[in-house]
Chain A
């Protein structure tokens, strides 16, 4: 791929845009400190700086205008009204778009940018945004051409006309040395322009006893013979302008002044006196006003801290570690390879442990202990490696506030996003793959969840609707919820739509939760039933599929008049999980621990046969459907008889159900190996794993298995294709 530094720029810009959004977010709050505005300013400023280096002109000029307004806010010359805040937020959105456009080499339509630019202009009222200085023309000019005119009567005019050269009178101030300049270097630069003769004036040097080493006593007169213009000469002195007395005049008398001894070699010219400005030197009796030397009486606190840091003993070794927020960018492939290796390590550990357990005759306590250490270490390594991939959901959440704004604008509603738990860390893949489903859910929440203004007013709600987005960790899972404060689901209407689309039998009678589940059915959501905002051909079934693909579950709950809440439950990692190893129909399967509530062996009297095919379990006064896993997966299996072992599992949306298994073997951490690349999506099975003894076991998807028995038809839970896949495993 192209320029690695350009890649760095885009990566960095991504982060800057995040901190920009975050800063603007907190600027909306009642109180924010100055540093917040500073960081917002810096983010835009850095983007501009980097963009300039790559000649991304559109980006530069917009960032410049944006920055100008932020600067005014920062210096408090511009009051931060809600209107201006709005403009800033929209500008940040536009800046994001411009970055995306630049990354893909596109150009934004000019009128769009023009609209945003004029909104920024409007913020400043009378004050105009200066043209982007130094940015209009990206053909690199020489570094700096600061030609401050030297106000010296008689010095100008004939300058260009007289070809002979210039006479330069140069008397450095103390500040010139203090700023790190060295007259010899200036003379060397002058010598490059032509032939020169230097004369040093030592007359100001006092007697030894009166000598103040920080005070400059020397001055020079230089005769420069050159065809270069005066501008070229002034350029040499560009950095020292104001730090010295400087008179440049056309050379009238070609012979150098005779008074002092000429110094032909420029480098030899400067006297050492000023350079002797040793910091330990006692201040002389003569005033040293201009010399900011070692005593530094008026250090600011920050500078003082910095000076203290300067004085710290050198420690080269851990320099890298001391850098604040030191991070390391690693290619994702490398991390994934590591994760894979750790997975193998865990399997390997399990195999050794198993073998050891089998060899009861030669039991060696020491060895058992070491293996246990090995297990703990492997787990530590695994957690450490997983942590590398973990990312806070913050960046994901920040993107959503824009979705809310746009959805609200498009529907004419008022809506704000309230987020919590942004610091919750999730696997990077989850963050990436959740972006689309979450976007869709947020749009839905604004579009379908929130009522229109009139309806809200009628029910006494504030005009501003609230979308709450939160993340948290709960018992080994990540929970993400999207909640609106709208009217809640309209169940009769949902049922009606489902019937019209033949998703359920015309005479079906469904419970509330079953009706809610209809929303997730493919074909429920189509362009005809959703507005043009949400309806982009994707329904909640796509959301559900995305979540399931991540090993997660999605559920819905609604309170009429108060709103609807979607809950996504995801595994912490995509690579390892705690599972219960069970036997079903002679096969070994793994059931995720997170979905198991308890294991029970019921009395035969607690099992009730209903009709020909269905069995219910009576437990603690409730009736729970019993699912024969073996049959559901198409294994050959006898009828359920006697008192089978049951796993009580929580199935999303369908409540609890009991899975029939032959026996429980073990409970352990298993490494998840995806089947999808080889077998496609296998219904009823989410993945596979390798057990300690080297056998391969399928990981059960309890939701799909439980859903298969349900009264209304879920999409082909166990198709023939699925069965074929099992046969092949």
Chain B
């Protein structure tokens, strides 16, 4: 089966970067421009994994995680947080919010794909 990825980031640059990496890896890629859009897309796309930015307008990444975890659509989907900070505080917060893992920007294609495969068990 093809792995379905939903990426949520307000930066088009990052969305496009992710697209190129995801499509290269043969994943089915959908993106959303902010938290609210992301949560809507989540219901439509029903991805196997969500990758979300934290700092976004309308609803931030924590809001996205919260909405998905408390929602009734596959609420245990793996969610990776994209972040520019690698500090422990951030990780703790992400974990508390319900994130499955995190990726520090700037990310490296190979590791990103392997993390996705690792937490989804697909591919």
Q: Which of A141, A180, A305 has the most CB of B within 10 A?
A: A180
CB contact under 8 A between A144 and B102, given known A303-B63, A306-B64:
yes
As a 0/1 sequence over residues 91 to 112 of chain B, the CB contacts with chain A under 8 angstroms (1 = contact) are: 1100100111111111110011
A179 contacts which of B37, B87, B95, B112 (Cβ < 8 Å)? B95
B58 in the interface (beta carbon within 8 A) = yes
A292, B70: Cβ atoms under 8 Å?
Answer: yes
CA gap between A311 and B64 in the complex, in Å: 14
Q: Name the A residues within 8 Å of B16 (CB-CB).
A: 4-5, 8
B44, A315: Cβ atoms under 8 Å?
Answer: yes
Q: Which of B59, B75, B87 has the most CB of A within 10 A?
A: B75
Q: Which A1-34 residues have C-beta < 8 A from chain B?
A: 4-5, 8-9, 11-13
Give the size category of A's interface with B. Answer: 35 or more
A312, B119: Cβ atoms under 8 Å?
Answer: no
B106 contacts which of A4, A138, A182 (Cβ < 8 Å)? A138
Beta-carbon nearest neighbor of A52 in chain B:
B106
Q: Name the A residues within 8 Å of B75 (CB-CB).
A: 178, 279, 293-294
A146 contacts which of B35, B88, B108 (Cβ < 8 Å)? B88
Q: Name the A residues within 8 Å of B68 (CB-CB).
A: 310
Q: Name the A residues within 8 Å of B105 (CB-CB).
A: 49, 52-53
A312 contacts which of B37, B43, B63, B111 (Cβ < 8 Å)? B43
Q: Name the A residues within 8 Å of B41 (CB-CB).
A: 319
A143 in the interface (beta carbon within 8 A) = yes
B111, A189: Cβ atoms under 8 Å?
Answer: no
B85 in the interface (beta carbon within 8 A) = yes
CA gap between A277 and B20 in the complex, in Å: 35
B58 contacts which of A53, A293, A324 (Cβ < 8 Å)? A324
A53, B13: Cβ atoms under 8 Å?
Answer: yes
Chain A proximity of B118: nearest CB distance (Å)? 6
Chain A proximity of B43: nearest CB distance (Å)? 5
**How many chain B residues have a CB neighbour from A under 8 Å?**
66
Chain B proximity of A176: nearest CB distance (Å)? 9
Q: Which A310-337 residues have C-beta < 8 A from chain B?
A: 310-312, 314-316, 319, 322-325
B40 in the interface (beta carbon within 8 A) = yes
A42, B100: Cβ atoms under 8 Å?
Answer: no
Q: Which B58-83 residues have C-beta < 8 A from chain A?
A: 58-59, 63-64, 66-73, 75-79
As a 0/1 sequence over residues 528 to 544 of chain A, the CB contacts with chain B under 8 angstroms (1 = contact) are: 00000000000000000
Q: Name the B residues within 8 Å of A721 (CB-CB).
A: none
A188 in the interface (beta carbon within 8 A) = yes
B40, A322: Cβ atoms under 8 Å?
Answer: yes
A680 in the interface (beta carbon within 8 A) = no
CA gap between A243 and B63 in the complex, in Å: 20
CA gap between A604 and B20 in the complex, in Å: 78
Chain A proximity of B74: nearest CB distance (Å)? 9
A142 in the interface (beta carbon within 8 A) = yes
A303, B70: Cβ atoms under 8 Å?
Answer: yes
B78, A309: Cβ atoms under 8 Å?
Answer: no
As a 0/1 sequence over residues 180 to 196 of chain A, the CB contacts with chain B under 8 angstroms (1 = contact) are: 11101100110000000
A679 in the interface (beta carbon within 8 A) = no
A50 in the interface (beta carbon within 8 A) = yes
A177 in the interface (beta carbon within 8 A) = yes
Q: Name the A residues within 8 Å of B58 (CB-CB).
A: 324
CB contact under 8 A between A299 and B70, given known A46-B11, A306-B35:
yes
Q: Name the A residues within 8 Å of B34 (CB-CB).
A: 324
CB contact under 8 A between A143 and B111, given known A53-B17, A178-B76, A309-B43:
yes
A208 in the interface (beta carbon within 8 A) = no
Chain A proximity of B4: nearest CB distance (Å)? 13
As a 0/1 sequence over residues 11 to 46 of chain B, the CB contacts with chain A under 8 angstroms (1 = contact) are: 111101100100000000000111111011111100
B121, A142: Cβ atoms under 8 Å?
Answer: no
CA gap between A659 and B11 in the complex, in Å: 57
CA gap between A296 and B14 in the complex, in Å: 32
Chain B proximity of A725: nearest CB distance (Å)? 47
A306, B55: Cβ atoms under 8 Å?
Answer: no
B121, A294: Cβ atoms under 8 Å?
Answer: no
CB contact under 8 A between A310 and B72, given known A42-B56, A134-B86, A144-B103:
yes
Beta-carbon nearest neighbor of A63 in chain B:
B84
B118, A143: Cβ atoms under 8 Å?
Answer: no
Chain B proximity of A70: nearest CB distance (Å)? 11
CB contact under 8 A between A181 and B67, given known A146-B88, A242-B92:
no
A238 in the interface (beta carbon within 8 A) = yes
CA gap between A573 and B79 in the complex, in Å: 49
Q: Name the B residues within 8 Å of A138 (CB-CB).
A: 106
B55, A314: Cβ atoms under 8 Å?
Answer: no
CA gap between A279 and B101 in the complex, in Å: 23
Q: Name the A residues within 8 Å of B63 (CB-CB).
A: 300, 302-303, 306
Q: Name the A residues within 8 Å of B42 (CB-CB).
A: 310
CA gap between A39 and B112 in the complex, in Å: 28
Q: Name the B residues within 8 Å of A49 (CB-CB).
A: 11, 13-14, 84, 105-106
Q: Name the A residues within 8 Å of B12 (CB-CB).
A: 8, 11-12
CB contact under 8 A between A307 and B119, given known A180-B79, A316-B44:
no
B55, A143: Cβ atoms under 8 Å?
Answer: no
Chain B proximity of A148: nearest CB distance (Å)? 7
Beta-carbon nearest neighbor of B84 in chain A:
A49
Chain A proximity of B122: nearest CB distance (Å)? 10
CB contact under 8 A between A133 and B85, given known A5-B17, A302-B59:
yes
CA gap between A52 and B84 in the complex, in Å: 9
CA gap between A52 and B69 in the complex, in Å: 30
CA gap between A614 and B82 in the complex, in Å: 77
A5, B104: Cβ atoms under 8 Å?
Answer: no
Q: Name the A residues within 8 Å of B98 (CB-CB).
A: 175, 178-180, 292
CB contact under 8 A between A185 and B76, given known A53-B13, A144-B102:
no
CA gap between A241 and B87 in the complex, in Å: 14
A296 contacts which of B64, B70, B88 (Cβ < 8 Å)? B70
CB contact under 8 A between A310 and B73, given known A8-B12, A42-B55, A180-B78:
yes
Beta-carbon nearest neighbor of A55 in chain B:
B106
A324, B121: Cβ atoms under 8 Å?
Answer: no
B59, A185: Cβ atoms under 8 Å?
Answer: no
B104 contacts which of A45, A134, A184, A294 (Cβ < 8 Å)? A134
B107, A294: Cβ atoms under 8 Å?
Answer: no
A314, B44: Cβ atoms under 8 Å?
Answer: yes
Q: Name the B residues within 8 Å of A146 (CB-CB).
A: 86, 88, 91
List 6 A-B pairs, minimum CB-CB distance, nearest first.
A306-B67, A140-B108, A143-B111, A239-B101, A50-B13, A180-B100
Q: What are 20 A-B pairs with beta-carbon distances under 8 A? A: A4-B16, A5-B20, A11-B12, A45-B55, A52-B106, A143-B111, A144-B86, A181-B78, A243-B95, A292-B98, A303-B66, A310-B42, A310-B67, A310-B72, A311-B43, A311-B71, A319-B40, A322-B37, A323-B33, A324-B34
Known contacts A306-B36, A309-B36, A324-B33; 18 further A-B pairs (Cβ under 8 A):
A8-B13, A11-B12, A49-B11, A49-B14, A53-B107, A140-B107, A140-B111, A143-B108, A144-B103, A179-B79, A239-B95, A239-B119, A293-B75, A303-B66, A314-B44, A322-B40, A323-B32, A324-B34
- Measured CB to CB, the residues of A under 8 A from B are 4-5, 8-9, 11-13, 38-39, 41-42, 45-46, 48-50, 52-53, 55, 133-134, 138, 140-144, 146, 148, 175, 177-182, 184-185, 188-189, 238-239, 241-243, 277, 279, 292-294, 296, 299-300, 302-303, 305-307, 309-312, 314-316, 319, 322-325
